[in-house]
Amino acid sequence: MSQLDGFFADAARIGSEIRAAKAQADDAELALRNQQRANKIIDTLKEANAGNLAMKYLALRELMRVDPNHPLVRDAALREQVSAGAKKVMKVSDNWDDVREFGQNYKISGR
């Protein structure tokens, strides 16, 4: 192999290594952007859940004042049943509107 052939072979090898490194860097950059997007979604969901949790306890406290004998105040199993049902709806439909409708249309026996 001549010196010129060696030079071209080295240049081709180096070029391939540069392309591979650039592709790897592009993949890492894409992964970082995806992770940042996922973190933003998680933060948004945490904030929404915090608001919902606060509203839940405020609403239960106020319901306790207005109607201390209401089943939602007295019956922890009923509250768990509603929560479990909402989780199932979300698992099946992955749609917050369906979960809201579930809660709005939930029938409490005897009411």
Q: Tell me the mean pLDDT per 10 residues along the chain, length 111.
A: 79 89 92 95 95 95 97 96 97 96 94 78
> Could you tell me if 85 and 47 lie in one domain?
no
> Could you tell me if 49 and 93 lie in one domain?
no
Domain count, the chain: 2
Look-up: residue for tokens 């992964």? Answer: 31
Amino acid at 4: L
Q: How many CB atoms within 10 Å of residue 60?
A: 13
> Could you tell me if 55 and 78 lie in one domain?
no
What pLDDT score does 111 carry?
A: 78
**E strand residue ranges, the chain:** none
Say how far apart CA 104 and CA 100 lie, in whole Å. Answer: 6
Our measurement of the distance from residue 54's CA atom to the centroid of its chain's CA atoms, rounded to an integer in Å, reads 19
Q: Angle formed by the axes of helices 96-105 and 76-93, to 10°? A: 150
Residue 104: both structure tokens together:
């709005």
> Could you tell me if 51 and 14 lie in one domain?
yes
What pLDDT score does 1 carry?
A: 67
> Could you tell me if 45 and 90 lie in one domain?
no
Find the domain containing 96 and state its range. Answer: 68-111
